[in-house]
Structure 1
């Protein structure tokens, strides 16, 4: 009888333990990391006489270049990618994920303001520089994108350069696309750059 009672008590204890374990919630699986915004690929750049080559995606903001927007986007939350062709045409995309949508709106506004005043700042630094800056309108994609061009020249040496720029936003993510080469605005692929900008913003997520 004693052995039977011991066996029953052991069985009951085991059952209670199993029941208790069943009631303990399983550890929650770790939440997946949020998707990082995607960059343009080489074949999504404006058409060129020679193929585009895309460099690696790098963390932070560019160490050099981007004269119109340097110092605006923070290094934290930013990544960038450079593109080039064999004919001295180059481009760059920078993407910044802001902590909040409000911060992203502010960043986009600051980047646009920096582009709008860029030529005047360049002329102050170099009185021999001449040029024209134009705003080419808004693109209706996600929260919108805005296009600019800056045409610069040095009459004394006959050098001319044209740059195309855009700022776009999707939620709390802001992207800047830059394109540049020797020449003038009438030789720049403005229509193709508009398409590239639309793709850049739509492709983020």
Structure 2
């Protein structure tokens, strides 16, 4: 091979290496541009008889204070976690927390963990408030995305108004969401069919 051809090939190889390195650097340095997942609109919550629903902005991280039954580090607080709060002109309120995980397996494990957290919430509450009463119900599944499940938790203290909460835990791919609804009352006041529709809408938006 002539010396001129060797120099030409060497120069070409160096040029290709530089271009490849530049492309690799650009790919690594490109900032993440993923938008937050879509959240429920106020009108998608179970209707209140005397008030419209209002909502905060979708906010990164966890709500402060933590939502009932979802405290104690049950929900990861890092990047990929978002929340939104909802309220009415009366005591009824709600919240949604959504976590975008690394992959489907991570999301599946997190959803299972959150279902266990809600299912044992009544017992944990009684442990901290032995003078009260608490119970829970499993209202079954919701068919949307990769599936959801609805639970009810009732708590009561002597000489105090009882509280009823509904929780929906579900997943779509690598994204997990938890929807909570609560007000003063008992299981009889829980709008279970409407809340299942709410969870279905939340999952379809992920």
Q: Which position in structure 1 is the counterpart of 2:106?
A: 103
| SS at 2:162 equivalent | strand
Q: Deviations over 1:130-166 (max 9, x none)?
A: 0220000011111100000001112x20421100001
Equivalences for 1:1-205 in 2 at 5 Å?
33-48=33-48, 49-70=50-71, 71-76=73-78, 77-154=80-157, 156-204=158-206
Q: TM-score, normalised by structure 1?
A: 0.82
State the Cα distance separating 1:129 from its structure 2 match: 1.3
Measured in 1, the distance between the counterparts of 2:36 and 2:66 equals 24
Aligned length: 179
Unaligned runs of 5+ in 2: 1-18
Q: Deviations over 1:63-115 (max 9, x none)?
A: 21313122112112100000000011100000000011111111001000000
Measured in 2, the distance between the counterparts of 1:58 and 1:35 equals 12
Q: Which runs of 4+ in 1 moved over 4 A?
A: 27-32
Q: Based on CA coordinates, which of the two structures has the bigger radius of gyration?
A: 1
Measured in 2, the distance between the counterparts of 1:149 and 1:192 equals 13
C-alpha contact (below 8 Å) 2:125/2:134 kept by paired residues: no
Measured in 2, the distance between the counterparts of 1:181 and 1:133 equals 15
| SS at 2:68 equivalent | coil
| SS at 1:65 equivalent | coil
Unaligned runs of 5+ in 1: 1-23
C-alpha contact (below 8 Å) 2:154/2:165 kept by paired residues: yes
Measured in 1, the distance between the counterparts of 2:89 and 2:62 equals 24
Measured in 2, the distance between the counterparts of 1:193 and 1:92 equals 12
Measured in 1, the distance between the counterparts of 2:81 and 2:33 equals 17
How large is the Cα RMSD of the aligned pairs? 2.0
